[in-house]
Amino acid sequence: MKVSVVTVSFNAASTLADTLESVARQNHDQTEHWLIDGLSQDATAAVVQRHGHHLAGFVSEPDLGLYDAMNKGAAMASGDILGFLNADDWYAGPETLSSVCKAFAAGADLVYGDLVFRASRAPFEIKRVWRDCAHDPQDFFRLGWQPAHPCTFVRRDLFQAIGGFDLRWRIGADYAWLARAMLQADLRLRHVPQTLVNMRLGGASTAGLRAVWQANRECAQVLHELGRWPWMTIAMKTARKVPQLLTNRDTVGADALWRPWAD
């Protein structure tokens, strides 16, 4: 079972090595990694030269934003499974993709796991934990649940059938895609009960209250377009994050930092 990982970047030279190395060191041997760059003006090309020998392709050209770049990468992918890994995040261990493939092999259309938010600089202390569990697709609308985007993998043929990311949404295009996916008949979900991704705080949807408000506003518009009552779902979606914020970091024993390539 082949996995295609798509990473999009723009002036991410300071963090990109972690992303590249974490994919290169996966123990799943049927993996391809595409890096779609928005014509960065920093040292991205030099980082790719040092850490990107495993890449299936590196494209650096102007684009219409991160979701446009994700769509480009998805179009280039040839794997059975498709996942997206941000240029400032990295997989939590060498077995991440193997665990994901086992879940698909057991019967799944969309697989998701757990996420750890870390400080942006060493020693990368844990700031927040996103622990998930088994869900029904309707929980997306009924309970405000959603899987973490970097920890979500989908059958590539399903991604193609649903269509790519809608570029109308600046922050919430991944939410809009998931909403459409959850409406698919007989969608089979499977949760992998382990941390799959380390995420640095400070991305487009985690960079302060203004970004959170914009993201929730877009999510509400998405739900409205799908004929769903939006604000109760958004309120429950927001409330579900409270336990993450209250998680005692000292009790997260299974989340030892994996970063063996570091200097």
**In-domain check, residue 255:** no
Task: Compute the distance between CA of residue 94 and CA of residue 117 in angstroms, rounded to an integer.
Answer: 18
Given a contact cutoff of 8 angstroms between Cβ atoms, the answer to whether 148 and 115 are in contact is yes
Indicate the pTM of the whole model.
Answer: 0.90
- The tokens for 61 are 């050209």
**In-domain check, residue 254:** no
**In-domain check, residue 134:** yes
What CATH number does the domain containing 25 carry? 3.90.550.10
**In-domain check, residue 131:** yes
pLDDT for 231 beyond 90:
no
Helix (H) / strand (E) containing 177: helix 173-182
pLDDT band for position 184 (50/70/90)? very high
pLDDT for the residue numbered 202? 64
**In-domain check, residue 258:** no
pLDDT for the residue numbered 253? 47
**In-domain check, residue 214:** yes
Closest CA to 78 of 57, 93, 60, 59: 57
> Which long-range CB contacts under 8 A does 49-58 form with residues at least 24 apart?
50/17, 51/16, 51/17, 51/20, 51/21, 51/24, 51/261, 52/20, 53/24, 54/20, 54/23, 54/24, 55/20, 56/4, 56/32
Q: Mean pLDDT, to the nearest integer, of 55-69?
A: 96
**In-domain check, residue 252:** no
pLDDT for the residue numbered 247? 57
pLDDT for the residue numbered 166? 95
What residues contact residue 225 under an 8 Å CB cut-off, 6+ apart?
none
**In-domain check, residue 38:** yes
Number of domains in the chain: 1
Domain span at residue 15?
3-247
